[in-house]
Amino acid sequence: MSIAVDTREQGQLPFEGSRSIQLGGRRVRVTEVFWAYWRLAAERQAMFFRRVGGEQAPWTDDAVLARHRFTNAYRASDRVSQYLLHRVIYDQEREALDTILRVLLFKIFNRIDTWEHLLDRVGQPTAASFSAEGYASVLDELLSEGRCVYSAAYIMPSPRLGADRKHRNHLALVEMLLRTGVLAELEQARSLRSLYERLCEVPSFGPFLAFQYAIDLNYSTHFDFDEMEFVVAGPGAVRGIRKCFEDTAGFDAAGVIAAVADSAQDFFEMVPPPTQFRDLWGRPLQLIDCQNLFCEVDKYARVALPEYSLGGSERIKQVYRVDPRPLLLGYPPKWCLPLSAQTPSVVGAAGVSRDFVLESLDTPCQIF
């Protein structure tokens, strides 16, 4: 795709102020935050590879990235996604219905210690044995101790199923979906969109959560849909897009994300100073990754470019603290990356060797 900066505005580099550019065949006007988007993506991915390569923190000279917590450039590289891959989905082979149940149960709470506590107290969830009451009573105990059971990553609305506490309503929802055959119906999806649309019909999920869950289910062997099929923009991504663009020339949020993903390499080459983006062992940024990055640049701009505030929060709530625990790193085997979720590699403490990281950039499909 042709990318061009309007040369009628002389004397400015692309990252200085707003600019008129071609995006997806339309002329749009972007702000400094748009160029920060690309530098953020490149530096956050560089931080990932520095850590994987065994370097010690801090992994960046960017003061905002060093101090605050940001997701990885690739959604699947985040710690919770990695846990989902190798401890929820790929720890052993399962029937589709059991996998769907496990993924949704884990993602509704989206908290590793909640999942591990449930497994320790109740055991592995299966379609044949699942009992909402059994799980709810365990979470009752956690809450009585003042412990959190939900992640702060998403706002989780409670389905109205008669219980007085949110976790009980969510567990009742999972049981209802299992009992009424909705989870089994998900197995019949023939595209990412059809999977998403069925999830949208679930009470309390809504478009954003339904799309996130569709992506999570699609990591498994039971679905094999293209992540470039379509995207749903969450509230954070919409705010990020508003900060990046003065005018989107009629593109809605999903259209902006699709056009940006299609032209990503061109923009990385345009951003001064020279910005090298190291992709995920040959896998380019997908729509879901570009969506997440718009959410992250919304946060980043609160501190780095506060003049683009839209009247919302002016700070980043989460301060980054180095987690000393090593990471188990692996991706869906069908992606044909050198690190597989079926046999994840330990990185972060001693790290995967730098030679492995660099040499693997050009490694053909190899699962080990």
pLDDT tens, position by position, 175-228 = 999 999 999 999 999 999 999 999 999 999 999 999 999 999 999 999 999 999
The larger pLDDT score, comparing residue 365 to residue 132, is at 132
State residue 16's pLDDT score: 56
Lowest mean pLDDT, pick from 102-116, 232-246, 258-272, 348-362:
348-362
Q: Which residues contact 22 (CB under 8 A, 6 or more apart)?
A: 2, 3, 4, 28
The predicted structure's pLDDT at residue 5? 41
pLDDT at 78 over 90: yes
Q: If you write DSSP's letter for every residue of 282-349 in order, what string do you get?
A: TBPPPHHHHHHHHHHHHHHHHHH-GGG--SS--S--PBP----SPEEE-B-GGG--SSBTTSPEEESS
Give the per-residue pLDDT at 303.
93
pLDDT > 90? residue 354: no
Residue labelled with tokens 């910005």? 275
Structure tokens at 280: 């995920």
Asked if 326 contacts 26 with a C-beta cutoff of 8 angstroms, the reply is no
Q: What pLDDT is attached to residue 310?
A: 84
At 296, is the pLDDT very low, low, confident or very high (cuts 50, 70, 90)? very high
Give me the pLDDT at residue 348, please.
Answer: 65
Question: Residue range 109-116: average pLDDT?
Answer: 96
Please report the pLDDT score of residue 181 as a whole number.
Answer: 98
Q: Cα separation of 273 and 279, whole Å?
A: 18
Instruction: Check pLDDT > 60 for residue 2.
Output: no
The mean of the pLDDT values for the chain is 89
| Measured distance CA(328)–CA(79) in Å, rounded | 9
The pLDDT of residue 324 is above 90: no
12-16, 26-30, 93-97, 220-224: the lowest-pLDDT one: 12-16
pLDDT at residue number 85: 98
Percent of the chain past pLDDT 90, that is, above it, reads 78
Q: What is the pLDDT of residue 6?
A: 42
Query: How many of the other CB atoms lie within 10 Å of CB of 313?
Result: 12
Mean pLDDT value of segment 349-353:
47
- pLDDT tens string 327-346: 889 999 999 999 999 999 99
pLDDT of residue 292: 98
Among 211, 185, 218, residue whose Cα is nearest residue 197: 211
> Model confidence at 311, in pLDDT bands (50, 70, 90)?
confident
Provide the percentage of residues in the chain whose pLDDT is more than 70. 89
Query: What confidence score (pLDDT) does residue 344 get?
Result: 93
- Going by pLDDT thresholds of 50, 70 and 90, the confidence category of residue 271 is confident
Q: How confident is the model at residue 270 (pLDDT cuts 50, 70, 90)?
A: confident
What pLDDT is recorded for position 14?
A: 53
Q: Is 57 exposed, middle or buried (0-12, 13-18, 19+ CB in 10 A)?
A: middle
